Structure 1
Amino acid sequence: MEFFEVLRRRRTTNGPFLPDPVRPEHQRMLVEAAAMAPSHFNSQPWRFVLVEDRATIEEIARISGESMRRLMEEGTFWKRYRPYFRFSEEEMERRRDGILIDQMPKALKPFRRQIFSEAGQSLMNRLGVPRILGEDNRRLVAGSPLLLAVLLDRAEYRPGELSGFYSVFGMGAAVENIWLATVELGMGIQFVSTPMEIPENWRRIERLLEVPEELALMAVYRLGYVPGETRRPTIDWQSRQRKRLSQYVFRNTCRSPERDDLGAAGEGG
């Protein structure tokens, strides 16, 4: 597959994976792709745990589902990420960032713009939406054939110092290499983020993975092979839009936005 085609096809997988185990050679390719990423002075601060043990996956899934339910019931999720939610194609086209919530239960659709209010939160709780979403989340994680934990070496990762920034920068490059490799391998990947929102739940995962003091658990991802067609979750979104050049690129100084037609002039002769 051509490199830029891989970039264009990169996606977050919100739906289920095939039950097939991830082939050992593909697991190796993923972590080897990560190792090819740049890092400050070639420090390679990243560490990875490949998790196939079913009991561990199911327990992490249970923690993730519990976290989702709690975040939804308390309204924390909506309040924390309010700036990123879009509720119409027009708004998404204008902003070209965030996520467009285009899939939700019929009972909620008339109230989707009120989900940030106390009344909206109360309605969702009465309808059992947090419980439904928590169970959806649990099933997605539990049905994943592979989890990938990403850690940083604390000898390099020192928050508040430049080394902390360099370590996170390198980790991001390593994870992006993995993400792009999944496209080539016919796989999908999704960030298991909800346990991170609740510190005590994140510590439970650290204990499950037996993370030593010298390492910091930074993220957990679910991976697997992507089926041809999937049923969308109860509440789902799409985020394929990207900002126009004039919204994020400048020329020479930050006072001069780039033209959106950069490179268009001269095409065709």
Structure 2
Amino acid sequence: MEFLEVIRKRKTTNGPFLDQPVSKEHQHLLMEAASRAPSHFNSQPWRFVLVENKAIIHRIAELGGSSMERLIAEGRFFERYRPYFRFSEKEMEERRDGILIDQLPGPLRPFTRQIMSPGALGLLRTLGVPRVLGEDNRKLVAGSPLLLAALLDKQEYRPGELSGFYSVLGLGMAIENVWLTTVELGMGIQFVSTPMEIPEAWEEVKRVLEVPDDLELMAVYRLGYVPPERPRPRIDWKSDHRKRLSQFVFRDTCRTPEPDH
């Protein structure tokens, strides 16, 4: 693909992957892409774990599912992410950020705005939404042929110091290289984020991955080949919009927005 086409086609895969192992060749290409990212003084502070072991994947899947269920049931998910929910094409077109909640199971559609509000915990529990979302999350992770854990070397990653910032910046660029390369390889990728939001779950992920004291686990992703027709989850959203130039770019100083054309 042309490079800009790859950037424009980059997406997060919310649905299932093909039941097909990721080839060793493609795994190593992803890692080569990561290694080509810039880093402070070429320090390359990133470390990665490629996980194909089914028992490990299933354990992390359980942690992902139970974390999602707990975050929804306790209201923490909506409290934290409510500012990013959009409920109409008009709102999405105006804001051009966040996620458009455009797919819900039939019985939930009349309550779209209510379910995504902070005061809807009782309704959510009654409808069994936390359990449904938790189980859907567990299945997605469990059905992934490959997990990728991203870590930082603590010799470079020192939070509160510039080296800490540089390390996170470098890891972010390495992950973006991986993400873009999945487009070229016909693969998809998704952040397994919910265990990070429950401290004890994240500690268990570290234990399962046998993370040593000199490394810091930063993130886990699920990867695989995407099917030609991509079924959408029961509860899903779209996030195709991007801000206009005038909404995020300035000219010369922060006082002058860049015109859109």
Root-mean-square deviation (CA, aligned residues, Å) is 0.9
Q: Deviations for 1:199-255, whole angstroms, at most 9, x for unmatched residues?
A: 000000000000000000000000000001122111101101000000000001111
Report whether the alignment pairs 1:5 with 2:5: yes
Report how far residue 112 of structure 1 moved. Answer: 1.9
Report how far residue 107 of structure 1 moved. Answer: 2.1
Question: Which position in structure 1 is the counterpart of 2:113?
Answer: 113
Question: Which position in structure 2 is the counterpart of 1:128?
Answer: 128
Question: Which position in structure 1 is the counterpart of 2:216?
Answer: 216
Question: Which position in structure 1 is the counterpart of 2:58?
Answer: 58
Q: Which ranges in structure 1 are unaligned for 5 or more consecutive residues?
A: 262-269
Question: Which position in structure 2 is the counterpart of 1:176?
Answer: 176
Structure 1 contact 111–120 (Cα < 8 Å) conserved: no
Report how far residue 105 of structure 1 moved. Answer: 1.9
Q: Deviations for 1:155-198, whole angstroms, at most 9, x for unmatched residues?
A: 10011111110000000000000000000000000000000010
Paired residue type of 1:41: F
Q: Structure 2 CA distance, aligned partners of 1:176 and 1:183? A: 11
Q: Deviations for 1:55-80, whole angstroms, at most 9, x for unmatched residues?
A: 00001001100000000101110100
Q: Deviations for 1:74-108, whole angstroms, at most 9, x for unmatched residues?
A: 11101001111111100000000001111112222
Q: For 1:226-245, what aligned pairs fall within 5 Å after superposition?
A: 226-245=226-245
Question: Which position in structure 2 is the counterpart of 1:196?
Answer: 196
Structure 1 contact 47–150 (Cα < 8 Å) conserved: yes
Q: Structure 2 CA distance, aligned partners of 1:69 and 1:251? A: 45
Q: Please state whether the residue corresponding to 1:81 is helix, strand or coil.
A: helix
TM-score relative to the length of structure 1: 0.95
Q: Structure 2 CA distance, aligned partners of 1:255 and 1:36? A: 36
Q: Which ranges in structure 2 are unaligned for 5 or more consecutive residues?
A: none
Q: Structure 1 CA distance, aligned partners of 2:122 and 2:169? A: 40
Report how far residue 118 of structure 1 moved. Answer: 5.6
Paired residue type of 2:129: V
Q: For 1:1-269, what aligned pairs fall within 5 Å after superposition?
A: 1-117=1-117, 119-261=119-261
TM-score relative to the length of structure 2: 0.98
Q: Structure 2 CA distance, aligned partners of 1:190 and 1:118? A: 26
Q: Structure 2 CA distance, aligned partners of 1:135 and 1:195? A: 14
Q: Structure 2 CA distance, aligned partners of 1:100 and 1:12? A: 14
- Following superposition, which runs of at least 4 residues in structure 1 exceed 6 angstroms of deviation? none
Q: Structure 2 CA distance, aligned partners of 1:176 and 1:117? A: 32
Aligned-residue sequence identity (percent) comes to 71
CA pair 118-238 structure 1, distance change in 2 beyond 3 A: closer
Q: Structure 2 CA distance, aligned partners of 1:107 and 1:185? A: 38
Paired residue type of 1:56: I
